[in-house]
A and B are shown apart, each in its own frame.
Chain A
């Protein structure tokens, strides 16, 4: 699978600078880049040096709304040209969103392409936050809150210019306690960390006892130690799509399936779109409990646990009925 990393962040937060630096590192040499600029005249592409063949600029609209279809077509086209040898065999795609983009529809588009069997998979979501203006931006711009909330990695930019960023760090931790926070000074950051996010999308799936509430976006964590039936997972995802839908900015989880005790299923979801579960070869650690992290509005950990319990009870009841009838 080819991971698709989404690089997002509010206007002026240093996405292009960061991407330009990252693409100069050997670790990211085989990277196809899709840049989205909002405006009639794009300049970001001139600031990023990447192979001409595997570089695509999408402009005159924002990825999350007017040209989402273009993004899906662009990704599919890149994969097709790669398989024909028309472009270098890139190992990943990085999408730099416009600063005004809501990342959720973009993640949706990636997952839709993945579901079509394109060979693409959602990698990491990397969000840049300006250390100087980030706090004010988060207070003023709802879109910047969403960009932070769905991130796997938060990168604090321009921290060389900011005297004190403790308040900003606290705000980021409240909005997204599971994201890894690092700093980039003049766009310099260790590319190995970014690659790590791509390869291990569930590495940070630790379940914390506390909930984070900020700007009405919550991050809830659900843990269940008993295995669940595969059918329970299907019905659970369907119910989440029904009842959480657009309020579910992002979901990721590792599931202990009763029928597959040695190979856990990994699930990803954005709004009402869910990846087909991926099966790991083995448990990544000694912790073999089901863990699901959900980010969004109006979510309830207790409701999810009650839902799983009711579905499991119904499946158990049906099994008893079938045994009695047989």
Chain B
């Protein structure tokens, strides 16, 4: 994994979490710690978002107040994050089928 790509991903995720907190009406902030993990502190909750270890079938490990959950994509991580911060959040049960890569 190139450092440039990693930095780009981290920056993008940090920006997304910051704007998500605002959109969800949650106070708090997100920062990157010295290990490269993203730490979200919001209304008495502390959430750590870390890349999963190589070789496991998911990409993100999300530790919420000491409990670990996993996600396979950044959108999955966002869903887990909101579920942990917003007790009224009800994620959609609808799942969108992948669209065809090229037109039919």
Q: A: which residues have CB within 8 A of B?
A: 230-231, 233-235, 237-239, 241-243, 245, 259-260, 263, 265, 272-274, 276-277, 279, 298-300, 302-303, 306-307, 309-314, 316-317, 320-321, 324
Tell me if B8 and A313 are in contact (CB < 8 A).
yes
A306 touches B19 (CB 8 A): yes
Indicate if the CB atoms of B74 and A316 lie closer than 8 Å. no
Q: Which residues in A have their C-beta under 8 angstroms from that of B103?
A: 260, 263, 265, 279
Whole-angstrom distance between the alpha carbons of A265 and B25 in the complex? 32
Query: Which residue of the partner chain, among B6, B92, B99, contacts A233 with CB atoms under 8 Å?
Result: B99
Q: How far is the CB of B99 from chain A (nearest CB, A)?
A: 5
Residues on B facing A (Cβ under 8 Å): 1-2, 5-6, 8-9, 11-13, 15-16, 18-20, 22-25, 59, 73-75, 78-79, 82, 90-92, 94-104
Chain B nearest CB from A176 CB (Å) reads 22
Q: Is the CB of B99 within 8 A of A277?
A: yes
Are A241 and B99 in contact, CB atoms less than 8 angstroms apart?
no
Residue of A nearest to B83 (CB): A242
Q: Return A219 CB to nearest CB of chain B, in Å.
A: 16
Q: Is the CB of A306 within 8 A of B16?
A: yes
CB pair B19–A259 under 8 Å, yes or no, is no
Q: Name the B residues within 8 Å of A259 (CB-CB).
A: 101-102
- Residues in chain A near residue B73, CB distance under 8 A: 235, 311, 314
Q: Tell whether, in the assembled complex, residue B22 and residue A245 are in contact, meaning their CB atoms are under 8 Å apart.
A: no
Q: 8 closest Cβ contacts across the A-B interface?
A: A279-B103, A241-B92, A313-B12, A310-B12, A310-B16, A306-B16, A272-B92, A313-B9
Q: Which chain B positions have C-beta within 8 A of A231? A: 98
**A299 to B, closest residue via Cβ:** B23
CB contacts (< 8 Å) of B19 on chain A: these are 300, 302-303, 306
Q: Which residues of A contact B104 (CB under 8 A)?
A: 279
Within the complex, the shortest CB–CB distance from B21 to chain A, in Å, comes to 10
A321 touches B23 (CB 8 A): no
Do A241 and B94 form a contact, CB below 8 Å, given A313-B9, A317-B6?
Answer: yes
